[in-house]
Structure 1
């Protein structure tokens, strides 16, 4: 299974990459309202997911078949397909609860496919009116309670009066490194950013993690940054228990940094919606 770590796997069917692209393009048209209703989009996505699952199973079983596709492409197809299914299923709610962002209610099937290739994932729906035209999403890294860096800030324009999605997935490449993917879906378009993250270099460390979101699932969008989710890492060799962050921390991290002082690493996923794009 070194092929997964090296970034390349072999698929079981010749031309599988082409089939994926055809199926996904058809699905995007369905979701955008250019062809069949939502039911057709869901059926199209289901076919895509079944094809991915069959290909992955063939790789696990044989490891040597025709047709190459990089792991990054495979993960992108799989993740975006799952997200599109949620977006299509919920599209009838566009216009309700304007200017809010909330944790997506995923089905068991969607959770299963996301968990196949990701150790951790966070999915959020949002509704915006015509006043908001831009969104940025990024990850802040903290070490022992102090902000160390800002990772992979992704900005993109928003479709007016549209429902969209923010998606963050984390795949642990090994015990000292993880691969992150950030995706914004809005108005039928998708923007994606990726970065690799290394933990504190200590070969003797034994990290455990706790992750999650705030308990209040719906958040009003205003002109300030929003903390969506957090992942806390701690070296278990240092002892002491682990607990997750409080809502007070999510509402105002700078005033509650004491909550993360005992963690080796903390990643906070943040976003901010803008009334104008940065170029204006």
Structure 2
């Protein structure tokens, strides 16, 4: 199943790289997937996000990682992480694997592609007991593009055992994380996908 995911991810890298060459420098944006790309990712993963970044060449490395929070409290910033050299343009793909019912761990796949090279990693949260029984919401930043200066929150996956319903993190959360960290208190578990260009 992992091989299938990475073949699909590579296809999305190639296709999305052809689309977004005229974007502003030093920004990252969500990729509008074609129906086919979306179908391929849906078949091979549970939840997925794709981002294109563009820089003026001053950034040499990008680090992407997943942080875990429980009831608003920071738990782990090494659930899954990767750092790779980058040049001017590239793509980041983040996806969770479909659960097979036997494993009690959450699997996160991160891939970074840019200027002919690709790096990828699969990470595991082995303490993800019962998230498969919880309700979940997920989302990413809703702006057309976002500056890549500093640490950037790209996406979130939130789980709650509350039966009364839940909503995803607000758009304000992605704009002012420190000012809206209290939003994480509403969920049993939150995974944040973050990136930093250096």
Q: Is the structural similarity TM-score above 0.5? A: yes
User: 1:86 deviation in Å?
Assistant: 1.8
Q: CA RMSD in A?
A: 1.9
Other-structure match for 1:229: 155
Q: Structure 1 residues 187, 261: CA separation in 2 closer, same or farther (over 3 Å shift)?
A: same
Whole-angstrom CA distance in 2 between matches of 1:206 and 1:113: 25
Aligned length: 195
Query: TM-score, normalised on structure 2?
Result: 0.90
Other-structure match for 1:90: 19
1:186 aligns with 2:110: no
Greater helix content: 1
**Residue from 46, 59, 64 that aligns with 1:119:** 46
1:129 aligns with 2:56: yes
Other-structure match for 2:184: 260
- Higher alpha-carbon Rg: 1
Question: How big is each residue's C-alpha offset from its partner over 1:223-249, in whole Å with a ceiling of 9 and x where there is no partner?
Answer: x100000000011xx433201111221
Once superposed, which parts of structure 1, at least 4 consecutive aligned residues long, lie more than 6 Å away?
A: none
Question: How big is each residue's C-alpha offset from its partner over 1:74-101, in whole Å with a ceiling of 9 and x where there is no partner?
Answer: 32112212221221x326x25x411110
Gaps of 5+ in 1: 1-70, 275-280
**Residue from 175, 195, 198 that aligns with 1:251:** 175
- Local SS of the residue matching 1:90: coil
Question: Relative CO higher for 1 or 2, CA cutoff 8 Å, sep ≥ 6?
Answer: 2
Greater strand content: 2
The answer to whether the Cα contact below 8 Å between 1:214 and 1:246 also exists between their aligned partners in 2 is no
User: 1:200 deviation in Å?
Assistant: 4.4
